[in-house]
Amino acid sequence: MRSGVRVHVGDRLDLGAEIVMNEREAHYLRDVRRLRAGDKVAVFNGTDGEWDATIVNSTRRGATLRVGVQLRSQATEPDLWLVFAPIKRARIDQLVEKATELGVSVLQPVHTRHTVVERLNLGRLRTIATEASEQCERLTVPRVRPPIAVSQLLNDWPQERRLLLCVETGPARPIGELLLEGRTESSTWAVMVGPEGGFALPELDLFLKLPFVTPVGLGPRILRAETAALAALACWQVILGDGSLRPSPSHA
Amino acid sequence: MRSGVRVHVGDRLDLGAEIVMNEREAHYLRDVRRLRAGDKVAVFNGTDGEWDATIVNSTRRGATLRVGVQLRSQATEPDLWLVFAPIKRARIDQLVEKATELGVSVLQPVHTRHTVVERLNLGRLRTIATEASEQCERLTVPRVRPPIAVSQLLNDWPQERRLLLCVETGPARPIGELLLEGRTESSTWAVMVGPEGGFALPELDLFLKLPFVTPVGLGPRILRAETAALAALACWQVILGDGSLRPSPSHA
């Protein structure tokens, strides 16, 4: 029977293909989701859409799945990056989980001058992004990139991608106004939020000189970094992204 | 010196007024924020704006503050309600914190048929709302109302307040489209999100028959309850609320 469980896999998906899961993945199906041989799950790999799969065997050491029919074909998803300074553990976990639900394609941590958290557990963040993708019915998992310095971020920046810099001080365009204007553009987009202490002034100056950067405001309240990011991403999706689409009816 | 600390108080605020803090409030200033006699804080009470205040004495048992000059006068804030089914502890805490940052005026918990969490610690939620208000520079604290049943919610509902019901299945208007249309209306508004398991079908039918209810969609991904609430609130503020205002320059 269909279990409602979705699993992201690395394998190619095709009718009859066999998927071999490692000990950890098998543990998740067996001990967390209580699934056994004969149970069905949905699998996706980010490129081949979503497929029905049946657990053909499941032990403590691993599990094997057999791929059945395709449930959904791969569709184009919004191309929206989130650039963020690392914040405290509980809050960065929320940020990655909810940014994934809100459909970001790339999560790019960046070390700013005021970044307090120096070490980042990329493995943990990737697991959170994968689990949130499984849960929210995405057909992709956002890429969580290794952290880089501001200088490298700006050197490597694709010039045609607009960067909406969420700032609490200084001049800024209201984000709603800017996104509504963006409906007539063919740009690609990114949202950036600074560290808890805000940007250092020389750093902010550097950003504001760049043609692809626009400082944006989210209203009169001082938002925590993760709240600002989620608010900006939600508004982008609703105004410029896929906010008018509905969940696939298969999910119930 | 100014400490950057903001404190919500119950007292009237006026030049020279004395504010007596209890043991718990004094502990926060003394042991958490490390403030001593002579240090300054900003105080607000939800009606008289924000005022400068000086700690005149501080012991383990209590503290006294003397109110100085007014820093900001009280302003009208958006009138936006959030109705939500109780969810698990960590997630409801995030919901209350971030909904406060996003400027809700009322938080109304409601018991739906699929509500799993029966007991709600209102005191804890009110503390979270107060602390988030202090942090985000609001001049009010949102009211966290006691939980009620769906039937009571609907019986007592003010008919002129539109209720945007976030739904994942069935027909729904894209929230962006609806909010943009709302710019020409003089309605008041509320956002409602269901429990993790979604609404029960008879319950959903009941809601959809009511003239003030509009089912809205937030895109193709299945959002967790708290993510859906935050996305809807953020979009409301940016399109219909105070999203084009900037933080008070005094905050830095």
pLDDT reported for residue B250 = 64
Nearest CA in chain A to B244: A174
Question: Ramachandran region of residue B145, left (φ > 0), alpha (ψ -120 to 50) or beta?
Answer: beta
DSSP B205-249: HHHHTSTTEEEEE--SS---HHHHHHHHHHHHHHHTSSTT----G
Residue A108's nearest CA partner among A158, A41, A153 is A153
Residue A214 near residue A173 (C-beta atoms within 8 A): yes
The 10s digit of each residue's pLDDT in A74-97 is 999 999 999 999 988 899 999 999
Name residue, tokens 């995030």. Answer: B94
Tell me the nearest-neighbour CA distance from A230 into chain B, angstroms.
7
| Cβ contacts of A98 on chain B, cutoff 8 Å | 224, 227, 230
Tell me the nearest-neighbour CA distance from A60 into chain B, angstroms.
30
pLDDT reported for residue A252 = 42
Helical (H) or strand (E) element with B201:
helix B201-208
Residue A183 near residue B209 (C-beta atoms within 8 A): no
| Lookup: tokens for A195 | 């560290």
SS (H, E, C) A76-103: CCCCEEEEECCCCHHHHHHHHHHHHHCC
CA angle A251, B115, B193 (to 5 degrees): 65
pLDDT bucket at A1, cuts 50 / 70 / 90:
low
The sign one gets for the Cα dihedral B199, B201, B202, B206 is positive
ipTM: 0.95
| Cβ contacts of A221 on chain B, cutoff 8 Å | 101-103, 136-138, 247
**CA-CA-CA-CA dihedral for A95, A101, A106, A107, to nearest 10:** 10
The CB density around residue B61, as the number of other CB atoms within 10 Å, is 9
Tell me the nearest-neighbour CA distance from A246 into chain B, angstroms.
4
Overall residue count recorded for chain B in this entry: 252
pLDDT reported for residue B143 = 98
Distance CA A46, CA A96 (A): 18
The 10s digit of each residue's pLDDT in B89-109 is 899 999 999 999 999 999 999
Point out the residue among B103, B238, B246 whose CB comes nearest to the CB of A176: B238
The CB density around residue B235, as the number of other CB atoms within 10 Å, is 30
Helical (H) or strand (E) element with B161:
strand B161-166
Return phi, psi of residue B130, to 5°.
-65, -45
pLDDT bucket at A40, cuts 50 / 70 / 90:
very high
Helical (H) or strand (E) element with B51:
strand B50-58
Residue A158 near residue A192 (C-beta atoms within 8 A): no
The answer to whether B177 contacts chain A (CB < 8 Å) is yes
Contact A220 B227 (CB under 8 A): no
Distance CA B85, CA B106 (A): 14
How many beta-carbon pairs below 8 A join chains A and B?
A: 153
Distance CA B207, CA B200 (A): 11
| Cβ contacts of B238 on chain A, cutoff 8 Å | 174-176, 179, 218-219, 231, 235
Residue A182 near residue B202 (C-beta atoms within 8 A): no
DSSP B33: S
Tell me the nearest-neighbour CA distance from B220 into chain A, angstroms.
4
| Cβ contacts of B169 on chain A, cutoff 8 Å | 247, 249, 251-252
Chain centroid, CA A137 distance in Å:
12
- Which pTM was predicted? 0.96
pLDDT bucket at A4, cuts 50 / 70 / 90:
confident
Strands of the sheet with A40-44, listed across from one edge: A2-8, A40-44, A50-58, A63-72, A18-21
Residue A23 near residue A59 (C-beta atoms within 8 A): no
pLDDT tens across the length of chain B (252 residues): 567 899 999 999 999 999 999 998 899 999 999 999 999 999 999 999 999 999 999 998 999 999 999 999 999 999 999 999 998 889 999 999 999 999 999 999 999 888 776 689 999 999 999 999 999 999 999 999 999 999 999 999 999 999 999 999 999 999 999 999 999 998 899 999 998 878 899 999 999 999 999 999 999 999 999 999 999 999 999 999 999 999 988 644
Q: What integer is the mean pLDDT of A59-76?
A: 95
Distance CA B214, CA B167 (A): 10
DSSP B46: S
Q: For chain B, where are the E strands, in sequence order?
A: 2-8, 18-21, 40-44, 50-58, 63-72, 80-84, 106-111, 143-144, 148-149, 161-166, 173-174, 188-193, 213-217
pLDDT bucket at A195, cuts 50 / 70 / 90:
confident
Point out the residue among B175, B219, B235 whose CB comes nearest to the CB of A103: B219
The tally of CA atoms less than 13 A away on the side-chain side of residue A54 is 9
Nearest CA in chain B to A250: B169
Tell me the percentage of chain A whose pLDDT exceeds 90. Answer: 85
Distance CA A191, CA A236 (A): 9
Instruction: For residue B228, give the amino acid letter.
Output: A
Task: Tell me the pairing of strands A106-111 and A148-149.
Answer: parallel
